[in-house]
Chains A and B, each alone.
Chain A
Amino acid sequence: MRYRHQRFAFVRPPELDGGRAHVPVLIVGAGPVGLALAIDLALNGVRSIIVDDGDTVSVGSRAICWSKRTLEVFDRLGVADRMVAKGVTWKVGRLFHRTREVYNFDLLPEPGHKHPAFINLQQYYVEEYLIDRVRAFPDLIDLRFKSRLVALQNHENGVTATIETPEGRYSISSDWLVACDGVRSTVRGLLGLDFVGQTFEERFLITDIEMKAEFPPERWFWFEPPFHDGQSALLHKQPDDIYRIDLQLGPDADPDIERRPENVKPRIEAIVGARPFEIDWISVYTFQCRRLERFLHGRVVFAGDSAHIVSPFGARGGNGGIQDIDNLAWKLAVIVKGDAPERLIATYDEERIRGADENILNSARSTSFMTPKSDAERIFREEVLAMAATEPFARRLVNSGRLSEPCSLSGLSLQSADDAACIGGLPPGSPCVDAPVRTPSGESRWLLDHLGGRFVLMTFGDGTSAPSGVRRLRVLPAGTAARNANEIEDSEGLVARRYGADAGMAYLIRPDQHIAARFLNPAASAIAAALDRASGKAMS
């Protein structure tokens, strides 16, 4: 069953009639990244306008693979349950070389986490669900379709943008403008900025096909399959009987010829056999692993594909973009509200450039493995693939994509040095790990439901009070029932185990569920200093 695209009507904005012409945050682009930012800002009470030149959600499945960390962010935004319910949960990947399976892996995480390792869900569903969530904030989010950014001026204290609509142009000012307008970013073009990094010559042809089949919910990747001479191929299951097939094209392939349905069809038939299928969408892309040198240009901030692009194997594009927003939204919110100095924003650049570089490194290596250039590279790859059938070590060197994981923010400006008395568990900079907990009303819930959105001091045992403005969350051992909203019961003992917690331990957790500091039996002054640092107040 194919997706039916709803068309969103143009709504005449007040600016065309001399009305409101300022907004704290102007978001350019209503893709997953821009929509997630608006929701996160709204949860912080900050108003935004999103402008998008289109009038519908993504055409084609595009980003389909959403990671556990992204689902945790979407959960914080209130949209994950719907996505997980609709998506295809998968954990097994199979690797084939020529005609034989050489390796399979199981991403099954340890039990005791709310979200699975990955779901597959077409980008159009992700955008639809995010738009539905946006509609829950009519006073805080103004989503404007058929509204194209055509000019912008970056001032010392804000940005002035010119927006073109079917009913005329208007000008609007904002304290901040966030470019979430994708790989061909208009904002990037208007500022005359370009990417630095590596472009590969190979292209991939990607198709969505609709087919009734019994393929399991697994990631199947082929090196040099018999049906696609010398190249690579990927098959991935999506909801609604839609399958994604990616086919590598050599550097000499003509994309306009390759994308013709009469040329695509025989290749798909070779993969799926005699089953009937229909082609839903075809696209061709070039591999790129590049980014802007800086994501911050005055009051203009870049997030998602407008800031960095990766080749797709590893699911590091869409997931990387959502992690940008996780990092950016709370910082913008406290700056706009005057609760933190403007220089806090510099840590978005610092932290997300680290994330982007990790994604770019991993995806460039996967791309290199798929497209060997020199004789030596071909020989090494050939032997790794051949040995993978019999030598366990070689399987781990086969690289068909290293799947998205959140990066550690350890050692960066906002994080305090680890307390030497803390052993095991999660050091500062780590994203918080989920675990089952029991609430005061006796419900079984998840630890991450209780973290995020604001600073939290999570404590084990007595004796540590939180600085003002910080929520204290006391974790009680299994068997000790929580009595109030600031307590949870570690119902299976997994919080203590995953956080290496001893009595007297305390974790200071950022609004984006990353650990800013941890301590054993801290003095109030130590917690206050770590909080000043994590909220940008101690930055020079």
Chain B
Amino acid sequence: MKGDDKPTGLDTAFRLGTRGDDVYAALIEAHRGLSHDESNRLNARLVLMLANHIGDASIVLEAIARAREGVTQTRSDKP
């Protein structure tokens, strides 16, 4: 798999096999009918659960940094 230069780092190659669309659809479905606050709560629970499952704090920290960087970098693009 490409997309990962560091042997122990965050893997950003696609890892969901044939189930990528299933997972995406399930995420969207999980948010159906939720208020904005509830959606944020759902996302928080999901992130914490998945972080715990990953277990390796260095990977979680790298993902946090990368996600935040992406959001703040594109801030000026937003209307």
Q: Footprint of B on A, CB under 8 Å?
A: 362, 365, 368-369, 374-377, 380, 383-384, 386-387, 390-393, 395-397, 399, 402
Contacts and interface: CB of A to CB of B under 8 A. Distances in A.
B2 A392 contact: yes
B46 to A, nearest CB: 12
B27 interface: yes
A506 to B, nearest CB: 29
Contacts of B31: 374, 376-377
Interface string B32-70: 101010010000000000000000000000000000001
Given A374-B31, A393-B12, A397-B20, 11 more contacts: A365-B21, A374-B32, A375-B39, A377-B28, A384-B24, A391-B12, A392-B12, A392-B14, A395-B14, A397-B24, A402-B21
A-side interface mostly: helix
Contacts of A384: 24
Interface string B1-36: 011000000001111100011001101100110101
A387 B70 contact: yes
B74 interface: yes
26 contacts: A362-B21, A365-B21, A368-B28, A369-B24, A375-B36, A375-B39, A376-B28, A376-B31, A376-B34, A376-B39, A377-B28, A384-B24, A392-B2, A392-B14, A393-B3, A393-B12, A395-B14, A396-B14, A396-B16, A396-B20, A397-B20, A397-B21, A397-B24, A399-B21, A399-B24, A402-B21
Contact of A380 (B2, B15, B28, B70): B28
Nearest to A362: B21
A383 B74 CA distance: 10
A405 to B, nearest CB: 11
A399 B3 CA distance: 20
Contacts of B34: 376
A368 B34 CA distance: 18
Interface residues of B, number: 20
B4 to A, nearest CB: 9
Contacts of B14: 392-393, 395-396
Given A376-B28, A376-B39, A392 B21 contact: no
B21 A380 contact: no
Nearest to B30: A376
B70 A390 contact: yes
A390 B70 CA distance: 9
A340 B31 CA distance: 50
B3 to A, nearest CB: 4
A392 B13 contact: yes
Nearest to B33: A374
A375 B38 CA distance: 12
A386 B13 contact: no
A369 B24 CA distance: 10
Given A365-B21, A391-B12, A396-B14, A380 B27 contact: yes
A386 B21 contact: no
A316 to B, nearest CB: 14
Contact of B3 (A375, A380, A392): A392
A362 to B, nearest CB: 7
Nearest to B32: A374
B63 to A, nearest CB: 10
Contacts of A390: 70
Contacts of A362: 21
A375 B31 CA distance: 9
A396 B36 CA distance: 27
Contacts of B28: 368, 374, 376-377, 380
Given A375-B39, A380-B24, A380-B28, A386 B70 contact: yes
Contacts of B24: 365, 369, 380, 384, 397, 399
A403 to B, nearest CB: 13
Question: Which of B13, B28, B32, B36 has most chain A Cβ within 10 Å?
Answer: B28
A390 B74 CA distance: 12
B66 to A, nearest CB: 8
Contacts of B12: 391-393
A365 B25 contact: yes
Question: Which of B3, B13, B24 has most chain A Cβ within 10 Å?
Answer: B24
A127 B31 CA distance: 45
A397 B21 CA distance: 7
Contact of A393 (B13, B36, B39): B13
Question: Which of B16, B20, B21, B70 has most chain A Cβ within 10 Å?
Answer: B21
Contacts of B15: 393
Given A377-B31, A392-B3, A386 B20 contact: no
A229 to B, nearest CB: 11
Nearest to B66: A391
Contacts of A397: 20-21, 24
